[in-house]
Each structure stands twice: as structure tokens, then as C-alpha cells.
């Protein structure tokens, strides 16, 4: 239904999909999981959309679906930036809220990290193994985002940084 807060999850290799679904279910919010054809997802709650292969196919589909006031769960800074540009809220799997204030810095970090990887002189470590504390932090932050979105659906720029 129009005007209903929806949650979109960039679900390819997303470690917090089930946590986000559980919280959304408590609030009776619709969730759409988007993945590419290399992943097989099922859900007894969410709508699952499998998008054709292509380097940015899932990202573009997600951005085309989301609207002002929706919530996007993604670890992709570029997707988060586009979601913010549409007036949606966006959250990282760490629980960090993407905001108009932090997105430019995050995009710059991503650019510099990509440049370092190409130089072959730098070997950046991958992410640390996910812990229960990481899951707890995400769950608390995600629930605060939902509460704020339900309280004031017109102002996605307000928020917290973790």
C-alpha cells in the first residue's frame, strides 16, 4: 500500500538478513530481499526478488524500488548514497547509520581502499569474523531506526552514528 514503510535488504551475503526480518515482523513491516542469480534465498516472511546477473543489477533494482522514508540495509556505500538521495534511510550491517553527514567520507574511504588494493603494495585485511555482539549492535540500531522512521517518516536525515 502506498505510504507504507518498506524495508529493502541487499541480501547477497548479508549476515543480518534474519535479524532484520525478525525485527520487521514484530512491527509488521513489509520486507523485500534482493539477491542475484548466484544466491538462493528463501523466507517465510519476506518477499524474495532474484535479480539477473550483472555487477550492479541488484543495486539498481533496489534503488529503483525504494522510496522516501523506506529503510535500506546494505554494506555498499554507493547503494546507501543513492538511497539517501531518494530520501530513504540506510543502515550498514554493523549498525552504523548512513547519513548525509557521513556518506561522503565513507565513499572517499571506499575509493582510497580500492586504490590501495590496485597498487599491489598494500594488502588490506578482510573483515573480522562476525560476533554475537555485532549482531546485538545491529539489532538495537536497526530497531531504533524503525522506531524513528515510524515516528517521523518524513525526516530520514535525523539519526545516530555508531
- Set of cell numbers at residue 34: 534482493
CA distances from 135 to 27, 37, 96 (A): 19, 26, 12
CA–CA dist 29, 49 (Å, integer): 17
pLDDT value of position 120? 63
CA–CA dist 127, 79 (Å, integer): 19
Q: Domain 7-150, what architecture?
A: 3-Layer(aba) Sandwich (3.40)
Mean pLDDT of 58-67: 95
pLDDT value of position 160? 43
pLDDT tens string 19-60: 999 999 999 999 999 999 888 899 999 999 999 878 889 999
pTM: 0.84
CA–CA dist 145, 141 (Å, integer): 6
pLDDT value of position 62? 96
- How far from the centroid of its chain's Cα atoms is residue 138's Cα? 11
Question: Contact 43/69 with Cβ under 8 angstroms?
Answer: no
| Annotated domain spans of the chain | 7-150
pLDDT value of position 32? 98
Amino acid at each position: 500500500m502506498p505510504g507504507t514503510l518498506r524495508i529493502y535488504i541487499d541480501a547477497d551475503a548479508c549476515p543480518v538478513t534474519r535479524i532484520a526480518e525478525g525485527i520487521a515482523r514484530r512491527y509488521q513491516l513489509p520486507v523485500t530481499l534482493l539477491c542475484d542469480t548466484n544466491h538462493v534465498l528463501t523466507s517465510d516472511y519476506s518477499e524474495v526478488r532474484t535479480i539477473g546477473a550483472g555487477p550492479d543489477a541488484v543495486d539498481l533494482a533496489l534503488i529503483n524500488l525504494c522510496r522516501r522514508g523506506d529503510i535500506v540495509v546494505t554494506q555498499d556505500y554507493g547503494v546507501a548514497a543513492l538511497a539517501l538521495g531518494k530520501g530513504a534511510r540506510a543502515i550498514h550491517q554493523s549498525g552504523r547509520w548512513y547519513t548525509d553527514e557521513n556518506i561522503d567520507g565513507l565513499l572517499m574511504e571506499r575509493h582510497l581502499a580500492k586504490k590501495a588494493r590496485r597498487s599491489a603494495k598494500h594488502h588490506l585485511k578482510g573483515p573480522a569474523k562476525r560476533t554475537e555482539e555485532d549482531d546485538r549492535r545491529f539489532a538495537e540500531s536497526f530497531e531504533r531506526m524503525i522506531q524513528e522512521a515510524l515516528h517521523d517518516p518524513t525526516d530520514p536525515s535525523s539519526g545516530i552514528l555508531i
